[in-house]
Chains A and B, each alone.
Chain A
Amino acid sequence: MTEFFPPLDFSDTFWAPWATQKDFAWNAQIVGMGIMVSLSCGLIGSFIVARKLALMGDAISHGILPGLAIAFITTQSNALFPMFIGACGAGLLCSFCIEWLHKKTPLKMDAALGLTFTSFFALGVLLITQMGNNTHIDPECLLYGEIGFTPLAESIYWGSVEIGSRPLLSIGLVTLVIILTITVFYKQLMVTSFDQTLSVSLGLSVRTIHYGLMLVLAITIVASFESVGVILVIAMLIFPSTTASFFFTRMPAILLCSFPLSIFYSFGGFFLARWLDCSIAGSMVVVAMVCFGIAWLLGTENGILTNLFFRKRTILDHSN
């Protein structure tokens, strides 16, 4: 047990990462990266979860593989931009197929989802094997980043002035786009998420808004993947909003909760990883999991304890 949990050295875990200027600059970039990924995924995830599409993130993350392979074959390079376009295109196509299967066939949503992304993934594997076993193209290598390496990634220069590392900038841009999109289209997103009949009668195009959301989701996933890896993205799409929903029922409150939660996840995960000496992304998800557990237990809205002591009747009413 002591091997798995080394003794907690307080100053080494909490103070040392910020002690010198170089350490500070380095670790602040890692934590900042974590915050922005959790925030952008958390915000967009709130709508995804509300639409009962929680595993759409998982589906798109697998569905982008053929896009990568095609981009690699056509451009014969693993340059970032074609890869990005290919991945986003395939992700969007994947969500389109899911929607189409769901609407035009008797299939239920989850079945359509599972069917589509596995097909896409299989197609991607096929394409990659066709290209020859010896190529070093595998998503592990090309696309899945490691959050700890954020400060080491190449920088973007404005003339000769260094602005910052590229993954940090790109995820920052994505976060900004998401906040803007949600602010501008808030009403449309809410109406289409919760009341389709109302949105039709209001003259809103449910489809357009759905695919717009899916496009933003695909961009978020691809941008985050490339810098932090897969596990963090899928988890962060789901955890913040589900955790917050044990305390709040209104969407604006849940969206606002993403901000403190993502800060807590990132710092918590960073310190946990330092203490246990393990992967930072993995630790962040474990912190998110603990937060969820606490919220589930203590939450004022349908938390276990609350239901046990105060709201027994409500639950009984629902189950009958």
Chain B
Amino acid sequence: MTFNNPNKSNVFIKLFIYNTTLALLFLTISCERGPKEDLNVIAIDNEKTNIVVTTTHIRDLVQKITGNRFRIHSLMGPGVDPHIYKPTSRDILAITKADIVVFHGMMLEGKLSEVLSSGEKKGIFTFNATAGLPNEQIIFPDQGDGNIQYPDPHVWFDPKIWSTVAREFTKMISDFDPAGKNFYKKNLKLFTDEILLIENWATAQMKNIPQSNKKLVTSHDAFQYFGRAMGLEVIALQGVSTTTEAGLGDRASLVDLIKQQNIPAIFIESSVNPGAIEEIAKECKVTVGGELFSDALGSKDHSSVGPGGRLFTANTWSGMMVHNVSTIVKALRQKTL
């Protein structure tokens, strides 16, 4: 009745290697960090009020409205896919120490959205940025017979909705910190003006694309709001969430569609593996039109020329829109033969 036997060593070595590999892999993945600038910053500043934000889009919005009145800690860095984000130990610390946690909601952050929704009861003040949106503005993807309707969370691509989100946030933050009310109001005005400017510019740019080319093919279904706002038909390889793989049928019908409709270019996304789209592009002999920012904004080193010849850096909402619009227009304006 002993537990040991002389042959077990071998099995243990195998198990050891298996588990070690898994653990190390997991550790490396979760240790992946954003840009250098965030690395040495101690998450919490006791002097100022701390705001923790989840995605890069929310970070930009909060930054624009509150200026530097608060210390902002962003959980996700540029290029991090919020669907599969895993928090590090310091992220969790930041949440516990935060005075306000602003999150995107609509299940964009997966389990994190769910957990933060109940944060209120735990003495953490959380703000769901998209909770105030009216239902008729939100796109509910067609799901066949299912009774449950999950909203499409990629609302930042619609300039009008994004202004609404900014207004809702300003309302909340003005209640939270009445002393800064006028400051926030002024910033909101600047921000919504900029959104309007970008929207008008983008709509004008879109006119350069011939009507027959107004089709946007991307990796995952993030651009429905963008398409609605800009008058583009959006076709995606994967579903709304990046965690489900594309089926073979989806892939085949996408290839047929690209060939039939003479789509000149298809696009990859900065936070999604480009492999599948590149393969399809090769198969259909169309060009890859460039990289679009979908679920995460870019780094501040990347900028593109927007309305009035101004430069917009890709770590802001405006820069993201300018980059996406110019990339799409440049690739789709060419006449197909």
Q: Which residues of A contact B (CB under 8 A)?
A: 3-4, 22-23, 26, 30, 50, 52, 54, 76-77, 128-129, 131-136, 138, 140-141, 144-146, 148-149, 151-155, 190, 194-195, 231, 234-235, 238-239, 242, 245, 248-251, 254, 270, 273-274, 276-283, 285-286, 288-289, 292-293, 296, 301-302, 314-315, 318
Contacts and interface: CB of A to CB of B under 8 A. Distances in A.
B219 to A, nearest CB: 13
Interface of B: 1-4, 6-9, 11-12, 15-16, 19-20, 22-24, 26-27, 30-31, 39, 83-84, 86-93, 95-96, 107, 110-112, 115-116, 118-119, 121-124, 141-144, 146-148, 150, 221, 238-241, 243-244, 246-247, 250
Contacts of B30: 278-279, 282
Of the candidates B8, B93, B116, the one having the most CB atoms from chain A within 10 angstroms of its own CB is B93
Nearest to A307: B9
Contacts of A152: 95, 115-116, 118-119, 122, 124
- Top 8 closest A-B pairs, CB basis? A133-B239, A279-B30, A134-B141, A148-B92, A273-B89, A285-B23, A318-B6, A282-B26
A242 B147 CA distance: 48
A106 B93 CA distance: 53
19 contacts: A30-B92, A76-B147, A134-B150, A136-B240, A149-B115, A152-B115, A152-B119, A155-B122, A234-B22, A235-B19, A273-B89, A274-B89, A276-B31, A277-B88, A279-B89, A282-B30, A286-B27, A288-B23, A296-B16
Contacts of A26: 96
B39 A282 contact: no
A245 B240 CA distance: 48
Contacts of B3: 50, 245, 248-251, 254
A314 B6 CA distance: 9
Nearest to A195: B1
Nearest to A275: B89
Given A190-B1, A277-B88, A135 B110 contact: no
Contacts of A134: 141-143, 150, 221, 239-240
Nearest to B107: A136
A155 B121 contact: yes
B146 A135 contact: yes
Contact of A278 (B27, B119, B148): B27
A288 B26 CA distance: 14
Query: Which residue, of A136, A140, A149, A273, has the highest number of chain B Cβ atoms within 10 A?
Result: A136
A293 to B, nearest CB: 8
Nearest to B13: A296
Contacts of A277: 31, 88-90
Contact of A238 (B15, B31, B88, B111): B15
Contact of B244 (A77, A133, A155, A285): A133
A52 B240 CA distance: 42
A235 B92 contact: no
Contact of A76 (B1, B124, B142, B146): B146
